[in-house]
Structure 1
Amino acid sequence: MDVSRFKEEVLPLKNKLFRFSLHIVKDEELAKDVVQESLIKVWEKRDELNQIQNLEAWCMQVTRNKSLDKLRSKHVKKTDLFEVELDTRKERDTPFVVTERGDLMKRIMDLIEDLPDRQREVMHLRDIEGYAYKEIADMLGIDINLVKTNLFRARRKLKESLMKVDAYGL
């Protein structure tokens, strides 16, 4: 595929690719990045495009994969525990349920703040930011086994504290 064919067949798809990516990632700037990366990948594979039967479908698949990769990326993870977009019950929740959920999240945040510094850092980096164990170890300058140990202890402490509150109302 040469430049003129690329301009004729692939570039007209960019708006459709953008809308598709935006639907997945829910962020305009991120969707623009995804489309740009997708078009670069298509251009890099230009020698193999003659073997592809449906170029548009293939471009959409590339965009879908890139969009999902961005969602899984550590840079896009939600950092606010209160943002739960997959919760479809929001419309049906009563004020009581909303208040209870808010109280629980406040309690969890307070319990996390009470953890020792290292455990709190590791838990935040792993469970909220979504970093891998190795990345956390490199960031904090500690052994990967220490990362796993601190994370285990933080989660156990959080679980025990929540169970204690639920069981005894403390």
Structure 2
Amino acid sequence: MNIDTYKQEAARLRPRLLLIARRYTGSDEEGEDIVQDCLLKIWMMREDLSIPLDALAVTITRNLCIDHLRQQHLTSLPENQITGISDIKDCDEERIERMMNIVHTLPDMQQTVLRLRHIEGREMAEIAQLTGSTETAVRKALSRARLAVKKQYSRRKNDD
């Protein structure tokens, strides 16, 4: 896609994306920021894209809104609730310990991907770059890790 085509598509999509972002965030300013981020992401991918961009743009906008809302939710919690360590009951501590013991039994790749994604909160592309694999491989390893943790957790829970 060339620059002129991108400009035309961005101008056409912008009002729709703003409407979506405003619905999610409830704020004009935050909606503008999110749409700007979306259009920047599309700009970075423009050479690989073809028209129409509607579905991609809407999906990117929605995902950015959800990320924004998650981040907002985390920052609105008191610090001890974010870490969760100080207010966790004995029962919850046992669950976390059981979960971490299960994570330690996973193969190295699954363990690494799970930690990077859920503990450090990294993006799939970043994890792929750090591990030297593709995003697809990262997604697959993460899926398998989650499934293995779920199965082992249920099995150990039933054994107790």
TM-score, structure 1 as length reference: 0.47
Determine which structure has the larger helix proportion and give its number.
Answer: 2
TM-score, structure 2 as length reference: 0.49
- Specify the structure having the higher radius of gyration (Cα): 1
